[in-house]
C-alpha cells in the first residue's frame, strides 16, 4: 500500500481517454516473439533433410510461440469519461467509475487490483511493476486519483 499512497493533490490528472500498459514488457515480448519466429523459420528453411510438412510444422510452432507472447503483451487499462476498460490476457471488462471503490498496488503485488462495488476484486494486468516499477506506481496513483475524483471511490488510510 505504501507505494501507491501519496498526497493526491500532487497528481496531475491526465486528459481522458488515457491508456495504461506495461510498455517495456510489451516491447520485450513482441521483440522476442518476432526474433524467435524469424530464427525458427530460418532454421526450418536451412535444414535440408526436412520435408515440406516438417518445415511447415516448424513455422507453425514459431507462429504459435509468437501468438502466445503477443497474448501476454495484450493487457492494458483504458480510462475515459464514463469509466474504465480492463483488458487482461483473454478477457475484457468495462467498468463505470462508481463501480471502482479502490485501486491497490501493494508491495509485492504483480499488478494492480481494483476493489469493486460488488465486493469482488479485479486484477488489472495493464499496470504491473515488473520491468517498469516506477511507471507502474505513477500509473496506479493516477488511476486511483481518477477513480476518487470521478466515482464513489474511498480514501485509504
Average pLDDT, the chain: 88
Question: What are the pLDDT digits (tens) for 94-147?
Answer: 999 999 999 999 988 899 999 999 999 999 999 998 878 888 999 999 999 999
In the block, cell 514459431 appears at: 62
Where on the phi/psi map is residue 83: left (φ > 0), alpha (ψ -120 to 50), or beta?
left
pTM: 0.79
Nearest Cα to 34, choosing from 60, 65, 72, 55? 65
For 68, how many CA atoms within 13 A lie in the half-sphere containing its CB? 8
Amino acid at each position: 500500500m505504501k507505494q501507491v499512497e501519496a498526497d493526491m493533490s500532487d497528481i496531475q490528472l491526465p486528459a481522458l481517454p488515457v491508456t495504461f500498459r506495461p510498455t517495456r514488457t510489451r516491447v520485450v515480448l513482441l521483440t522476442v516473439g518476432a526474433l524467435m519466429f524469424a530464427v525458427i523459420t530460418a532454421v526450418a528453411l536451412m535444414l535440408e533433410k526436412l520435408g515440406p510438412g516438417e518445415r511447415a510444422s516448424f513455422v507453425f510452432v514459431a507462429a504459435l510461440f509468437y501468438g502466445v507472447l503477443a497474448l501476454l503483451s495484450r493487457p492494458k487499462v483504458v480510462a475515459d469519461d464514463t469509466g474504465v476498460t480492463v483488458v487482461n490476457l483473454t478477457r475484457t471488462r468495462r467498468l463505470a467509475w462508481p463501480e471502482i471503490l479502490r485501486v491497490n498496488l501493494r508491495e509485492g503485488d504483480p499488478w494492480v487490483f481494483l476493489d469493486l462495488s460488488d465486493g469482488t476484486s479485479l486484477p488489472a494486468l495493464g499496470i504491473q511493476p515488473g520491468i517498469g516499477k516506477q511507471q507502474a506506481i505513477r500509473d496506479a496513483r493516477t488511476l486511483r486519483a481518477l477513480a476518487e475524483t470521478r466515482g464513489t471511490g474511498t480514501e485509504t488510510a
